[in-house]
Amino acid sequence: MMSDAITAMPKPATTAYSVLGAASFCHLLNDMIQSLFTAAYPIFKGGFDLGYAQLGFLTLTYQVTASVLQPLVGSYTDRNPKPYSLSFGMGVSLLGLLVLAYASNFALLLCGSALLGMGSSVFHPESSRLARLASGGAHGLAQSIFQVGGNVGSAIGPLLVAFIVLPNGQKSLAWFALAALVGMVIMVGLGNWYKNQGHAKPPVKRAKVVHAHLTGAQVSRALTVLFCLMLSKWFYLASFTSFYIFYLMERFSLPEQQSQIFLFVFLAAVAAGTLIGGPIGDRIGRKKVIWVSIAGTLPFALILPHAGLGATIVLSVIIGLVLSSAFSAIVVYAQELVPGRVGMISGLFFGLAFGMGGIGAALLGVLADWTSIYFVYKICAVLPAIGFLAAFLPNLDEGRPKPENG
């Protein structure tokens, strides 16, 4: 059984790929369930006669719920590790999916979105910590393997909506509760591994600082810069995850199903970029990856609103590939800034990702109602310029030991 195989893994002096693979697959299932929600927006929009602002508020409810709770969950599990909380988080997401499937009004859609956010708030901090524990020192690689599962899940969601949910209606969302049940079983095995390696005991003392030459003020300044970079990245990504389908439908008169497929193409590029970014950060330094990833998106973002259909698809793939390579590097960089608080930092930055995406979706939805989707993309095109703030990040890669991969 998979749970037995995971439990039997030796303590990872080298990278524990079986554990990382299982964690990544659970991340795929978790984020697939989340992406079914946003990919189904055209169904909710038509069925409940919603405006863009209301769709943005659905995203805001889901993502702000997750963003507020994730740092709290991460901080708590730093002090009191909970290896089996992963299954509980997936169970909450399952409940949220069922509420969305059978919702009969906007208020129930909000309840379902909040439950999805609660499920993510439990899953992400603890599973990110598990990925670091299984890394064998290759923290960027491990974070990328873990992250890419989520990105692949997010990419699959629009396809499932296009070919299953759209033809069969809103209630067919409930069919995917089976995926959540599978994830819960695998997560029990991950919890067993976590516990058997001795990681489920409360820490005796906080880990030492890896880069002791940084002062408290320098750490605070670096975290502020990372916050600004996250704002740029996730506001811009919100324009794609929540409104790219509508942009293609309105600007190029594409049918809904074809637009869903092009959203999948964009999200697949995001998954590829996430997988690439972590290992590159291990080799050349995370600061370089962060710098190139966010600021390097700028020229393509500026061209996008003025491009034809074919060029739009190509540019969106480049943007997804380049922009997404930063997240693993940002998370690991932040973990190294504040050692001994991996859960809190993971929760904080996953929470920021959700919160920024939610606030961005809400604001962009209001702006789209006031103006147009096309105008939203013109405004968002300048956001990657914030990436130049990466120049102010200290270099944490001096004297880094070489990770072992086995």
Could you give all domains of the chain from N- to C-terminal order, each with its CATH number?
A: 13-392 (1.20.1250.20)
Q: How many CB atoms lie within 10 A of CB 371?
A: 12
| CB contact at 8 A, 61 and 110 | yes
Residues of the chain below pLDDT 50: 1-12, 207-210, 398-406
78 vs 191: CA distance, rounded Å: 15
Q: How far is CA 158 from the centre of its chain?
A: 16
| CB contact at 8 A, 37 and 101 | no
27 vs 131: CA distance, rounded Å: 11
What is the model's pLDDT at position 10? 44
Q: Which residue's structure tokens are 């309105």? A: 250
Q: Where in 250-347 does DSSP place strands (E)?
A: none
What is the model's pLDDT at position 199? 55
With the CA atoms of 79, 189, 68 and 339 taken in that order, what torsion angle do they form, in degrees rounded to the nearest 10? 40
| CB contact at 8 A, 92 and 279 | no
171 vs 193: CA distance, rounded Å: 36
13 vs 154: CA distance, rounded Å: 32
What is the model's pLDDT at position 95? 95
